[in-house]
Amino acid sequence: MPAVHDSLAHAATTPYWLDSPDRPAPRPALDARVTADLCVVGGGYSGLWTAILAKERDPGRDVVLLEGNRVGWAASGRNGGFCAASITHGHANGMARWPGEMDTLERLGRENLDGIEKTLSRYGIGCDFERSGAITVATEPHQLEWLREVAAGNPHAAYLDVAAVRAEVSSPTFLGGVYEPHDVALVNPAKLAWGLADAAESLGVRVHEGTRVSGLSSVGAGVEVRTDSRHSGSQGVVRAGRVALGTNAFPSLVRRVRLHTVPVYDYALMTEPLSAEQLAAIGWKGRQGLDDMTNQFHYFRMTEDNRILWGGYDAIYHFGRQVRPSYDQRAATFDLLARQFFTTFPQLEGLRFSHRWGGAIDTCTRFCAFFGTAYAGRAAYALGFTGLGVGATRFGAEVMLDLLDGVDSERTRLEMVRTKPLPFPPEPFAWAGIQLTRRSLAGADRNQGRRNLWLRGLDRLGLGFDS
């Protein structure tokens, strides 16, 4: 389609959020031997929240944070900016796994989102935070019953019929919706990461960028973290009492959990700012975040300067669990997303996309984070956030600190925290299974949501895949 090609012709390949004059200057790498009470590995949300909360719990705790590239450069600076209260990937997923804990899990999730908002206010972090809620829309008739079930499971949600949902956001594809006004906030994800890093440093955390962790081992009553400088090649060492691992989509330093996650590539487009006439054509005055009910779903939202981010649907897994910069761009996916965008908003024909990008998220077979310790309790990890990391990483940081500090808390007593998902199989079985699952999900979307034998088998194993 020439119009689709034209809409993408001048799109920058840098993630929109990172393509900003506000991006801070690089911090120095670690090239020395240092000591700390706590070493945090990873400069995304997981590591940044851990560092901040560790200092808030104990201001005297000496904390050093190591980032292999730049703060917020990976998933934390590439996502859609949906900061959700859910820590279970939605009510239905949580109910299927921990029905007896769902009241607690949902309360803790809302408290976590409240805690994020309070932290942003306390440290003056400007990240375009809008607690505007979210609307899930149906685009096929059979999805309306699913929406009614979603509304029934959340006393704070409102069911929207076709007229009501189109009054909120005008699209000929929307047949109904569920509005959850309190459980989702929107943020500029890169500004959130940069603001958290500034807050951590204000508390005394030493933050080193361009510092790749090359090894981890037990030493005496603590751990030794070995590093390489990304630019100079010089090496460093951190001797710490404890280490928190926020590596997420990248291979874990705890080898026994590497099969528990796979990196899946997610892609997004960002439009140019909409004109006043284009804004009037789509409505969207409430500025809610949106997603749809298909297995391979889209997510979309407005930015502060009235652009539309449009992402999701075509999640891609590459053989061998590889995370590579070359995977960040995929022309076929961008073309598909652009076609789907103009199907959803035909009144915006002629609008161009300013940015196109992709990035890896860590997914696991239960679609929400799992937790654990290693190295005789001196290391803790939180992995498998499956797209929920903007909000749920703060909860994961609390869990890691509870585990490292030996705290018997409401969090550590949760079955969700005490159990782990089934691992993915090794290659080539992981690749074959994921490809079969993707084709089956696409087939279910074309067949009124009916799941085939393969998907029903995964459901029985508690592996009910959703993109």
Other CB atoms within 10 A of residue 267 CB: 25
Cβ neighbours for 28, distance < 8 A, ≥ 6 positions apart: 208, 209, 210
Closest by Cα among 398, 416, 411 to 115: 398
Distance CA(124)–CA(464), nearest Å, equals 40
Q: Return the domain boundaries, the chain.
A: 26-130+183-265+365-424, 429-460
Q: What is the pLDDT of residue 443?
A: 87
Q: What is the pLDDT of residue 23?
A: 97
The two structure tokens encoding residue 391: 């909000």
Q: What is the pLDDT of residue 206?
A: 98
Q: What is the pLDDT of residue 465?
A: 55
Query: Rg of the chain's alpha carbons, rounded to an integer?
Result: 22
Q: What is the pLDDT of residue 155?
A: 85
Give residue-wise pLDDT tens across range 114-137. 999 999 999 999 999 999 999 999
Q: What number does CATH give the domain 26-130+183-265+365-424?
A: 3.50.50.60
What are the 10-residue block averages of pLDDT along the chain, 467 residues in total? 83 98 96 97 98 98 98 97 96 93 97 98 98 96 93 90 98 97 96 98 98 96 93 89 96 96 97 98 97 92 98 93 95 97 97 98 96 98 96 98 97 98 94 90 84 87 62
The answer to whether the beta carbons of residues 43 and 72 sit under 8 Å apart is yes
Q: What is the pLDDT of residue 467?
A: 41
Q: What is the pLDDT of residue 1?
A: 58
Cis peptide before 428 (omega within 30 of 0): yes
Name 136's bridge partners.
Answer: 178, 291
Percent helix / strand / coil, the chain, rounded to 5: 35, 25, 40
